[in-house]
Structure 1
Amino acid sequence: MTTPAVAALKRALPHASLTYIVEEPYRCLVEGNPDIDKIILIPPHQGVLSFLGLIRRVRREKFDVVIDFHGGPRASRITWLSRAGLKAGYELKGKGLFYDIRVPRHREGAPIHSVENHINLIRAAGIEVHEPWPRLTLPAARKEESARIDKLWADRGLLGARVVVLHIGAGNEFRDWGAQNLGELAACLADRPGVRVVLVGSGQDALRAEEIRRHRPESLLSLSGELNLIEL
């Protein structure tokens, strides 16, 4: 969901060098992105010494601007300690001192989509965005990944069907719709003619997938834990 904002940044500042800091498991989602000039990787399990090494690496880059799209504890600390000329992030409880510019994640009376949130964040940093919805850049699948999905679709009887893929996991509680709501949505979709609903998520979502499938066991298929990020 951050790649539209990254694309907007590159379009507004074509000569700027854009560095993307990302956790190792998610590097595949941004590798090869034409709008990103450099990637700094964060190991999934990081101790104090490793974190201090990361901060030294970030400081060596001498960034003019650091924008925190994530807002989590580690991301906010990296932003705060980066020594960037300008630090922008979301207005979150307990993190007011971490950023020079803070943007609310919710507007009064209505939620804001993550893509719009990120666009608002770069606008607040003084960067003009002329296109309201810049492109979402996704990595291309490798041949073996495409072949595996084709075989999986054939084996599960999905060829020729109108497939709706429903991701049932959530990294944060405030993003979690709950199994009951997801089940009702999945059942509503499955009732449409010719539609097959495929539930996806991590291996940790397998039990939730079975709970959701109780609404329409004959129409809902679970692939939770069976696909990698690119295959998703």
Structure 2
Amino acid sequence: MSKLITQDKLLKINKILIIQYKPFGDVLLNTGYLPALRAAFPEATIDYLVQKPYTTILENNACIDNIIVMNKLKTGTLAYAADRLHLISRIRRENYDVVIDQARGPGAAEITLFSGAQYRIGWHKTKKWSWFKGHNWVYNYRELKNHNIYSARAKFGLLRPLGIQEIPHNTYIHVLSESENKVRNWLKQMGILNKSIAVFSPVTPIRKRQWDFRRFAEVADMVTEKYGFNVVLLWGPGEKKKVEHMASLMKNMPLVAPPTTFNEAAAMLKHARIYFGNNGGIHHLAVAVGTPTVTVFGPGTSPLKWVAWHMPQHTYLINSDLDEYTDGGFGVTPEMVFREFERLMESGHI
């Protein structure tokens, strides 16, 4: 691995395409390396292939020239085949010199293969039959992925063939002025603008990641009673009843946020002093806007990969003795979570 493109060839690179078309968290994690890529190729066109609604993460990003929107259609249908053929034809016409495939699935491999790019960069898969079924053969520059560091850092690995090493960075989302104004007006109406706010995002669609709502409620009460924080419950589509259930379990009534877009959620998190939640896209959003985080992990997921633990303001809890999902407690108590919060308070990170 780590085969480098020679300097004389690097100087001839004019067009670059990045592929990572979903979901919110994974697209956001790709924004960390974009400034380094732009600095290395200041005159090149850098485009990004993404599906809706994840385009919102990349809009107004100065490091990207064009966002290419990919339709989400059911595989195996005539509509899918026609749309994919149209997309590949469009990409071929762009004459990209480099394709960086961060997604590394069968669909992304197909797009990379037929892109016509001279340099096709992707992750090297090591499992049996990976050369054929894992599509290693598609990529003439492959890198082994480091799964023991935050994913945003690991993604720098695909820049190594371009002579780019990891630099100090953070992920990024441009918070729209409309989003900021909407959130500020709501916080003002609630009487908590410029006050200490703790945002909880307690819901995840993935059952094995869902920490118990009663335990979240106990942490929220501790944060309110001992430190006077105002608790705001953030929720996404289909989650309102669940956050209302958490609110009903609390002794101190929290504020349930209004419906928010992903960009508005970023604005809300910017006003928070601390974020509590499960592993997921909202956690990565909090990291991107600079809000300290305490994240609870269930079994089978690596926090080394999904927490920005290299930054001291981001911490996590996981019971490493728990091998499989048994219940929503994860062997993590509210007192343990609250102690992590207090540690961040005492160290000055909140």
Q: TM tier, shorter chain?
A: 0.7 to 0.9
Deviation at 1:73, TM superposition (A): 4.7
Structure 2 residue matching 1:203: 3-state secondary structure: coil
Residues 1:188 and 2:239 aligned together: no
**Partner of residue 200, structure 1:** 234
Per-residue deviation, residues 141-192 of structure 1 (Å, max 9, x unmatched): 133x333212221334432432233444557x59x63232x76466435523
1:128 to 160, 164, 172: 164
Deviation at 1:19, TM superposition (A): 0.7
Query: Once superposed, which parts of structure 1, at least 4 consecutive aligned residues long, lie more than 6 Å away?
Result: none
2:107 to 65, 68, 74: 74
Q: Report the RMSD for the aligned CA atoms in angstroms.
A: 3.1
Q: Distance in 2 between matches of 1:228 and 1:51?
A: 28
Deviation at 1:30, TM superposition (A): 1.4
Alignment of 1:91-170 (within 5 A): 91=124, 94-97=133-136, 98-100=138-140, 101-107=142-148, 112-123=149-160, 125-129=161-165, 131=167, 133-143=168-178, 145-168=179-202
Structure 1 residue matching 2:183: 3-state secondary structure: helix
Deviation at 1:130, TM superposition (A): 5.6
Q: Aligned pair in 2 of structure 1 residues 141, 75: CA closer, same or farther (>3 Å)?
A: same
Q: Distance in 2 between matches of 1:34 and 1:99?
A: 28
Q: Aligned pair in 2 of structure 1 residues 115, 40: CA closer, same or farther (>3 Å)?
A: same
**Partner of residue 21, structure 1:** 49
Per-residue deviation, residues 75-117 of structure 1 (Å, max 9, x unmatched): 343233323222233355653434341432513xxxx212112
Q: Aligned pair in 2 of structure 1 residues 214, 120: CA closer, same or farther (>3 Å)?
A: farther
Q: Aligned pair in 2 of structure 1 residues 20, 185: CA closer, same or farther (>3 Å)?
A: same
Q: Aligned pair in 2 of structure 1 residues 159, 187: CA closer, same or farther (>3 Å)?
A: farther
1:88 to 113, 121, 128: 121
Deviation at 1:56, TM superposition (A): 0.9
Deviation at 1:21, TM superposition (A): 0.9
Q: Distance in 2 between matches of 1:148 and 1:120?
A: 38
Structure 2 residue matching 1:138: 3-state secondary structure: coil
Identity of aligned residues (%): 24
Structure 2 unaligned spans of 5+: 1-28, 75-79, 128-132, 266-350
Range 150-159 or range 29-38, more displaced: 150-159
Structure 2 residue matching 1:120: 3-state secondary structure: helix
Q: Aligned pair in 2 of structure 1 residues 99, 210: CA closer, same or farther (>3 Å)?
A: farther
Q: Aligned pair in 2 of structure 1 residues 32, 217: CA closer, same or farther (>3 Å)?
A: same
Alignment of 1:29-44 (within 5 A): 29-44=57-72
Structure 2 residue matching 1:204: 3-state secondary structure: coil
Q: Aligned pair in 2 of structure 1 residues 118, 198: CA closer, same or farther (>3 Å)?
A: farther
Q: What is the letter of the counterpart of residue 257 of structure 2?
A: L
**Partner of residue 6, structure 1:** 34
Structure 1 unaligned spans of 5+: none
The answer to whether the 8 A contact 2:156-2:166 is kept is no
Q: Distance in 1 between matches of 2:245 and 2:106?
A: 32
**Partner of residue 303, structure 2:** none
Q: Aligned pair in 2 of structure 1 residues 198, 127: CA closer, same or farther (>3 Å)?
A: farther
1:179 to 208, 211, 235: 211
**Partner of residue 83, structure 2:** 50
**Partner of residue 60, structure 1:** 93
Q: Distance in 2 between matches of 1:43 and 1:55?
A: 12
Q: Distance in 1 between matches of 2:146 and 2:248?
A: 35
Structure 2 residue matching 1:41: 3-state secondary structure: strand
Deviation at 1:122, TM superposition (A): 1.7
The answer to whether the 8 A contact 2:106-2:135 is kept is no
The answer to whether the 8 A contact 1:161-1:194 is kept is no
